Amino acid sequence: MQDPLVIAGHAFDSRLIVGTGKYRDVEETERAIDASGAQMVTVALRRVDLGDRSGQSLMALLQRKGWIVLANSAGCYTAEEAIRTLRLAAELGLGRIHECPSPLVKLEVIGDARTLYPDNEQTLIAARQLVAEGFVVLPYCIDDPIVCRKLQDIGCAAVMPLAAPIGSGLGIRNPHNLETILENARVPVIVDAGVGTASDAAIAMELGCHGVLMNTAIARAQQPVLMAQAMREAVSAGRHAFLAGRMPRQRYANASSPSAGRVGEAPIIASREAPIRIE
């Protein structure tokens, strides 16, 4: 079944986006991302040595693998910082698809160092400027339907509301808000942050979200490569369940087998002329 995730006209077979941080080493990073099936990976520009292209560096891995690199402004606390960081990503050629002049970037402007919640005001300012400069902007934001609508109206190619605080693994804390965001969405809605295990990813997809972005849930698992595979399968299963349409919830039991024709439902009459017949 052809069911791609389409962002700004670009189709992706995988609806899972993964981060590149927190792994034990570059080899584990590669094995986990390969197992996830992700085509797009995020890189926090302020937390990686951009000049290190040696054989065991993350930058060398990214150059070799051919994944779409979604540059991330993680660690930025103002719109100005985020804009400057993502302009650098464009200069490095990150986030480009088939020589497309508009690079894909993940906008992240943090408002609080303890919770890592986004600064809504600064995010909106940065998004407006980056869109005006031709960037394909995917903003990390709070699970607020109003903020998501404003980002969409600015021209962001997707919105990425958190499910729970970054790296917390708490799962989908407010499905109602996500459903409300989805009801009003004209662009893809990608859950970003808070996923802890495969069932969390499946729930996000069953709600109707178009994709899931995660890092810590895979990188900090006891077996990251195995968890990456589990996340791949969970995102796929959740999407299929959403498309299939779940059965309606009911308050009382509803027998799986029909009662018509059941033994004892109607009297059985026996005679010499006719054999016993059970319908």
Amino acid at 5: L
**CA angle at residue 199 from 197 to 201, to 5 degrees?**
75
Catalytic one among 22, 65, 106, 150? Answer: 106
**Annotation says 106 is catalytic:** yes
Q: Position of tokens 């009911």? A: 250
Which has the closest alpha carbon to 58: 37, 33, 36?
33
Which has the closest alpha carbon to 143: 99, 175, 171?
175
Please return the burial class of 76, using the count of CB atoms within 10 Å of its CB with bins 0-12, 13-18 and 19+.
buried
d(CA 198, CA 229): 9
d(CA 206, CA 246): 9
Q: Is 179:208 a contact under the CB 8 Å cutoff?
A: yes
State CA 243 to chain mean position distance: 17
- Residues marked as catalytic: 106
